[in-house]
Amino acid sequence: MPPTTLLLTVLCATLDAGASSSEGLAPTATSEAGAAAAAAAVGDAGVPATSQDFFSRLGSAYWQDWTGTLPSAPEAPFRGDPPPVSNPPFPFDYWPYGGSPTIGAPNNSWTPLMAAIYGGSGGDAWKASGVRIYGWLAGGFNLSSSRASGFSNAPAAYYALPNTWMLDQFTLYIERKPDTVQTDHFDWGFRLAQLVGFDYRYTTMNGIFSNQLLVDNNHIGYDPVMFYVDLYFPVLAGFNIRIGRYISTPDIEAQLAPDNYSYSHSLLYTYDAYTQMGVLLTLKLDDHWLFQAGISAGNDIAPWVQNAGAQPTATLCVSYTWTQGKDNVYLCANSINNGQYGYNNVQAYYATWYHKFGDGPFHMATEAWFQYEDNVPSIFVPHNSALITGANGAWCGTGQTKCFAPEWAVVNYLEWKVTDHDALTWRNEFVDDIQGQRTGYQTQYFETMLGWAHWIGSTIIMRPEIRFERSFARPAYNNGTSQNQFVTAMDFIFKY
């Protein structure tokens, strides 16, 4: 917690003096009005903005957000197909892809903190700079049929600890996003994202404060989960270069709490690659085609950690959108190298399809992947010195000291927009961990989850859910003593 606390203290001391604005978690239907709406929310609501102190402006911004009285503003321009869904009640309004800002989408997203800053004496300078500061506090609880000590809800995630409350994420973002709507000049951006909480266990990169997890196994930790720059060029329909540590490209789900349909994550996503450090190129040809290519040090490993398998790793993706944005297929070879056992060195191939059903309230998202590592050390060899800390071995056959360890999975989300602030989620998935290398158990899994997302304004999200899962070949839950697990859970997200 200290790195984030210190940074917040410094920022609060300069809130009325600085320079910043533009952009947010993702382009949102609530906030497509952009910076103008942010300023209006506290500056044009009956009281001149500069007549209030910072905390009064912040309180006014929250009140107007929660009561639906934020002043309206003109719709921000976008390029290409209109957004197929809306945020809220969904976590995005354009079908997501990783490694780049959404090219052609507006940057302007309203947050209470930036509204309060814009209303101060330096507000115009903040807007002109394009820099934004925001984040959230996310916590939740679960009641589980698993009762054993430790992480006995696993392989379910992120709530691996059963029957408890936990601080999932406290985040602080400082960022500037390039203007990718225009196609006539170069622009740039950056992001510095800090995360404190239980979920650091899933985002940690080997070589970056990783002893918290790999040596000490702390329940709560700190991770600088993203630090990168974006370089945007007006080539064809838009070309972006991202350099630094970024979220890996594929997946319906995301590491950061507000960017997900539900509180918990699918098993497919839990045992996936999370972040990479390198360079990723994203080229949008037109309203249909988008291509990505990159080079990194591997999945969740820094380039300098050679003893755990860091090596040049390629990423290749292609996206095709049709039916005026209502359908999208996103194919990714997320990590391509020699495929040998290493720290999360899975060779990972993904296919994701998003589909909106006409103009109605329903859409779905379906993802399938195949992953593998070769020459994975057997867990049945006593005191196997070939095992890497934090990297599972495999359930190899009799007499094998190493083996090929593949797995495949498919997950489907069915989404229903009930109101502008309420959505229902039904998730179903099947996972086959063929050699037990990902989950720690050689078995197949089925999981089904029903969840509800309720938004208060655009800054508070509550997501209750019920979830049932089963491991077929052997017990994998409750520390390997049960084949079935039932969990009811709920999280709360408070944005600033």
* Amino acid, res. 413: Y
Q: What percent of the chain has pLDDT over 70?
A: 90
pLDDT of residue 37: 38
Q: What are residue 165's DSSP bridge partners?
A: 141
For 386-406, what is the HEC assignment?
CCCCCCCCECCCCCCCEEEEE
Whether the per-residue pLDDT at 410 is higher than 70: the answer is: yes
Whether the per-residue pLDDT at 333 is higher than 70: the answer is: yes
pLDDT of residue 420: 97
pLDDT tens digits for 200-235?
999 999 999 999 999 999 999 999 999 999 999 999
The pTM of this model reads 0.89
Single out the residue of 417, 411, 423 nearest to residue 250, CA to CA. Answer: 411
Q: For the residues 287-313, what does the mean pLDDT come to?
A: 96
pLDDT of residue 179: 96
| Ramachandran angles phi, psi of 300, nearest 5° | 60, 35
What are the E-state strand segments in 186-305? 187-197, 221-233, 239-247, 275-284, 289-296
Structure tokens at 411: 């997950």
The ranges assigned to domains in the chain are 132-495
Q: For the residues 443-455, what does the mean pLDDT come to?
A: 98
pLDDT tens digits for 79-132?
999 999 999 999 999 999 999 999 999 987 889 999 999 999 899 999 999 999
pLDDT of residue 50: 63
pLDDT of residue 4: 43
Structure tokens at 304: 């300098």
Place of tokens 């594929």: 250
Query: Between the CA of residue 183 and those of 103, 232, 237, 411, what are the distances in Å?
Result: 10, 10, 7, 37
Sequence-distant (≥ 6) Cβ neighbours of residue 25 within 8 angstroms: 109, 134, 256, 258, 259, 495
Predicted confidence band of residue 46 (pLDDT cuts 50, 70, 90) = very low
Q: For the residues 439-455, what does the mean pLDDT come to?
A: 98
H helices, E strands: number in the chain: 8, 17
Single out the residue of 124, 39, 101, 483 nearest to residue 280, CA to CA. Answer: 101
Whether the per-residue pLDDT at 266 is higher than 70: the answer is: yes
Please state the CATH superfamily assignment of the domain spanning residues 132-495 in this structure. Porin (2.40.160.10)
**Comparison of pLDDT for 5 and 164, the residue scoring more:** 164
Whether the per-residue pLDDT at 452 is higher than 50: the answer is: yes
Predicted confidence band of residue 36 (pLDDT cuts 50, 70, 90) = very low
CA pair distance 474, 115, nearest whole angstrom:
53
pLDDT of residue 34: 38
How many CB atoms within 10 Å of residue 183?
17
The burial of 250, by beta-carbon neighbours within 10 Å (0-12 exposed, 13-18 middle, 19 or more buried), is given as: buried
**Comparison of pLDDT for 41 and 53, the residue scoring more:** 53
| pLDDT, the chain, mean | 90
H or E element in which residue 314 lies: strand 313-322
pLDDT of residue 209: 97
How many CB atoms within 10 Å of residue 18?
16
pLDDT of residue 109: 82
Whether the per-residue pLDDT at 310 is higher than 90: the answer is: yes
Predicted confidence band of residue 52 (pLDDT cuts 50, 70, 90) = confident
pLDDT tens digits for 466-492?
999 999 999 999 999 999 999 999 999
Query: Residue 112: is the preceding peptide bond cis (ω within 30°)?
Result: no
pLDDT of residue 51: 66
Predicted confidence band of residue 440 (pLDDT cuts 50, 70, 90) = very high
Place of tokens 């950690």: 305
pLDDT tens digits for 359-397?
999 999 999 999 999 999 999 999 999 999 999 999 999
Whether the per-residue pLDDT at 442 is higher than 50: the answer is: yes
CA pair distance 466, 263, nearest whole angstrom:
10
